[in-house]
Amino acid sequence: MLMNDFLNRVEARNPDQPEFMQAVHEVVESVWPVYESTPEFYQSKLLDLMVEPERQISFRVSWMDDNGKIQVNRAYRIQYNSALGPYKGGMRFHPTVNQSILKFLGFEQTFKNSLTMLAMGGGKGGADFDPKGKSDHEVRRFCKNMMMELYRHIGPDVDVPAGDIGVGQREIGYMFGAYGKIKNDYTGVLTGRSLGLGGSPLRSQATGFGVVYFVEEMLKNVGDSLEGKRVAVSGSGNVAQYAMKKLEELGGLAITASDSSGYVYDPEGIKGEKLDYLLDLKQKQRGRISEYAKKYKTQYFENKKPWDVACDIALPCASQNELYAEDAKELVKNGVKYVAEGANMPTTPDAMAIFKESGVLFAPGKASNAGGVATSGFEMSQTSQRLNWEPEEVDRRLKGVMQSIHAQCAEHGAEKKQIDYVKGANVAGFIRVANAMISRGLE
């Protein structure tokens, strides 16, 4: 069977799911040669199995707003693949959430979790609830009411959700509290919990730190270093914040940050007191990035993305499909040499092709942003042990996972001139899931 026939068939079965099909194309195009030439894989129809989630749950959540009005949202949990362990992946609260987006995220998550070498299957969930502008009470009521249904489908050995866009420690805490109340137990059913609720040190920092550790490996591999590198960062949420922190620590200079309203350009670097202000602005005040520009008198570009600045490295850390072909061309023109995804699938396929043609080293999210889920895996281990590891221990392990993922990419993505990180990550992630599925009798 030709690869295109396979992809057409998947598309026919999943109409109107562009994000899901985008993720499927990327993985299938990378792994097809391995798939086709491994009779055990091909005859087991493993790719047919892998593109189909094991279970998809969709449910209604009603809750009362502060004006006493009933609001209705739609929530989901996609239990994608449990060959390697309990389903594991974040919950996203954002008005754009739909089945296509969560299926793409769950599919990607399966291979990402495989790359960490930890015992975690792939899953993802969320709701079209927008926490922006909601009061604390409203967010709490929504989380509680959502858990009234979600609790039936999750558990520490079944499915362990975490955070994602719009879901941070506050939301995890509310969901964790509601689960405990309903089930009358105190267990590691969600990761990303605060330290006070038995979470892991550095879980909040882990995705951003991990991205920068991965970039460090990419640079080291070609005899370069982070020292003095100018870095364009998009987003100003959890991933972007801690990527900027780690950049500062390792000698790089973050020069941009953004949110869905625009971006700030600070050629002197978003660091020190300025970075602490940004963290406070986003974490506590829940303010807009334009306030950074006002406070520090830097340039602010409304409704623009930060891909037209001169930089050595670009880290897209906001959302899917935020870096298009024209942005890639602009970045290449302005000297970018390395791109690593902090977000999931922020780069469109056309943009990836431009980076490849131009010799820009490009790391896909399933490799470069796997530090978050790896640390969630560490959180699960600590919960089982009823122990908290020291932050240094978590950091050492996180770095080790990112180095191991880099090595797997190098092994499976080696090309004549440079590493093809997309191919390397997809093939390495796929092989481990494929072997586990075969060992489990394709269940």
- The residues annotated as belonging to the active site are 124
Q: How far is the CB of 227 from ligand NDP (least distance, A)?
A: 26
Residue list 312-331, contact with ligand NDP (CB under 6 A): 317-319, 322
Specify whether the backbone of 86 is left (phi greater than 0), alpha (psi in -120 to 50) or beta. beta
Considering the complex, state which of residue 252 and residue 342 has its C-beta at the smaller distance from ligand NDP: 342
339: closest CA among 319, 318, 321, 323? 323
Dist CA 308 CA 334 (whole Å): 7
Considering the complex, state which of residue 85 and residue 163 has its C-beta at the smaller distance from ligand NDP: 163
Considering the complex, state which of residue 47 and residue 202 has its C-beta at the smaller distance from ligand NDP: 202
Q: How far is the CB of 271 from ligand NDP (least distance, A)?
A: 18
Integer CA distances (angstroms), 40 to 49, 121, 435, 438, in order: 14, 21, 9, 8
Note whether 372 binds ligand NDP by CB under 6 A: yes
- Tokens 């309903």 locate to 182
Note whether 342 binds ligand NDP by CB under 6 A: yes
> Out of 7, 28, 218, 343, which residue is the one contacting ligand NDP (CB under 6 A)?
343
Give the number of residues in contact with ligand NDP, rule: CB under 6 A.
22
Q: How far is the CB of 219 from ligand NDP (least distance, A)?
A: 21
Considering the complex, state which of residue 7 and residue 26 has its C-beta at the smaller distance from ligand NDP: 26
CB 63 within 8 A of CB 36: no
> Out of 123, 166, 377, 413, which residue is the one contacting ligand NDP (CB under 6 A)?
166
Judged by CB under 6 A, which stretch of 36-44, 142-150, 157-165, 221-229 contacts ligand NDP?
157-165
Pairing of strands 256-259, 253-254: unpaired
Dist CA 334 CA 311 (whole Å): 7
Q: How far is the CB of 318 from ligand NDP (least distance, A)?
A: 3
Considering the complex, state which of residue 164 and residue 266 has its C-beta at the smaller distance from ligand NDP: 164
> Out of 86, 123, 201, 235, which residue is the one contacting ligand NDP (CB under 6 A)?
235
Q: How far is the CB of 205 from ligand NDP (least distance, A)?
A: 10
> Out of 200, 236, 383, 426, which residue is the one contacting ligand NDP (CB under 6 A)?
236
Inter-helix orientation angle 99-115/18-36, to 10°: 40
207: closest CA among 375, 94, 93? 375
CB 76 within 8 A of CB 58: yes
Dist CA 83 CA 429 (whole Å): 12
Q: How far is the CB of 442 from ligand NDP (least distance, A)?
A: 29
Considering the complex, state which of residue 317 and residue 401 has its C-beta at the smaller distance from ligand NDP: 317
> Out of 73, 113, 344, 368, which residue is the one contacting ligand NDP (CB under 6 A)?
344
Q: How far is the CB of 18 from ligand NDP (least distance, A)?
A: 15
Judged by CB under 6 A, which stretch of 134-142, 212-220, 233-241, 419-427 contacts ligand NDP?
233-241
H or E segment and range at residue 258: strand 256-259
Judged by CB under 6 A, which stretch of 26-34, 48-56, 148-156, 160-168 contacts ligand NDP?
160-168
Question: What is the sign of the dihedral through the CA atoms of 63, 239, 333 and 412?
Answer: negative
Specify whether the backbone of 132 is left (phi greater than 0), alpha (psi in -120 to 50) or beta. beta
CB 102 within 8 A of CB 122: no
Two structure tokens written together for 314: 């670009």
Judged by CB under 6 A, which stretch of 32-40, 163-171, 267-275, 324-332 contacts ligand NDP?
163-171
140: closest CA among 169, 180, 175? 175
Residue nearest to ligand NDP (CB): 237
Q: How many CA atoms lie within 13 A of 443 on its CB side?
A: 4
> Out of 106, 123, 161, 163, which residue is the one contacting ligand NDP (CB under 6 A)?
163
Considering the complex, state which of residue 35 and residue 237 has its C-beta at the smaller distance from ligand NDP: 237
Q: How far is the CB of 373 from ligand NDP (least distance, A)?
A: 6
Dist CA 269 CA 254 (whole Å): 5
Query: What mask, x for binding ligand NDP by CB under 6 A, covers residues 241 to 280?
Result: ------------------xxx-------------------
Considering the complex, state which of residue 122 and residue 342 has its C-beta at the smaller distance from ligand NDP: 342
Give the list of residues 6+ apart from residue 118 with CB closer than 8 angstroms, or none. 85, 374, 377, 401
Considering the complex, state which of residue 10 and residue 315 has its C-beta at the smaller distance from ligand NDP: 315
What are the DSSP calls for 18-46, one per residue?
HHHHHHHHHHHHHHHHHHHT-HHHHHTTH
> Out of 110, 169, 369, 382, which residue is the one contacting ligand NDP (CB under 6 A)?
369
Q: Determine the Cα angle at 110 with ends 166 and 410, to 5°.
A: 110
Give the binding site for ligand NDP (CB under 6 A): 163-166, 207, 235-239, 259-261, 317-319, 322, 342-344, 369, 372
